[in-house]
Structure 1
């Protein structure tokens, strides 16, 4: 009988221990879930960057890149090279690409400017095509961090959408007066305009982040530019001499009447001073 009582006591202890362990595990799991939820609220996951690197993701930045590339090549090839880059962009040879601006000038100092927006993978191939066999004079890269602007815009759109939804619900009430209906309609229209502007801004931000702006400046080589400057100086020689002679003629034309007007005054002044010295000597 004592042995049966001890057996029952041991079974009860095992059941109690099992229940306590289960309760502890449940508590631990609930606390871990709460901590995970709090962590997810406090630090939302940043969108993956272009390279997909975990180190970059930790920075929480959303970069919009802008490139400026100066290409030096013989003047007679500038137009052809610029058109080749433009054609490659329009054809999407290196990925989605759009030409934003194109300008070209000739004369002694031919040049061209081409500005495109292209996907990140197409930047280097376009730069290589632009400077194929020639000299890349200067290149600069600038990045604008849009993380704060994107976050603020998302918060603004969320606020506008919630307010818009509440006003639409309130507008469905049957006991509204005509003045209230007009006021609500005006406010809803205002919210819709603000929301549309915020959505357009978000699209612009996304476009700047997902694509990159590249500006190509095509210019002549330094040696050709120096020869052009010397030739231009020789061509301007005659014009410079003529301009100096013309300036001197104008100066004489201005000073001659003044000189003729001052001569009598100078003669009178000298005569007065001579008489005064003679009077002192006498």
Structure 2
């Protein structure tokens, strides 16, 4: 692992009986960056995350997180990371504030109330903090889920398809939360099957296909792999997402 690399993966292999899921995966993630692992369903993205978070053992290869080997120093790795899975792991009976306090107490941290207040403010949830999570929108639950992952300030966070099932507004809320994470120095490994998500968020993008990384680079580097675009005049039309967000935003202002 280089001095600038906080996640290092080399030659990672994993099979389930006769099914080869990972066939020699290699990549590095720079400290404080957003790295997107892009691939279709079944490409092996979640398997990579499970190995890096010590939930699964690789058949071959090496992996390190924050300077610790995932196979031989699992406890140190777990102290360095947080994992947000594909579905929000929040308690709907509790309020947002109570969810955060609970996690802080489970981690034996001092001042759990202050920690909860700070994270609610950081993720624009202060006004909703006293409400039961069952009343939250999908985007709010996801933001709370990510906030809970940050209790204790782990230097590395894994986000496994964080916007699955969210509406356009919820996706944008989560995107903003992820940008703020990296802006404050957290290293983010993001798995997604959404091309626009990787394009919007990632400093580097690796495409995982049939168990192998077939390309790894910045968005600009990946675009250079295609022939240069021809310059043509095209009247730009609003996308469906533009229309949806404009109408919903206007309706919300009228209700206020």
Q: What TM-score, normalized by structure 2, do the two folds share? A: 0.22
Higher strand proportion (structure 1 or 2): 2
Q: Decide which structure has greater helix share.
A: 1
TM-score by length of 1: 0.20
Question: Greater CA radius of gyration, 1 or 2?
Answer: 1
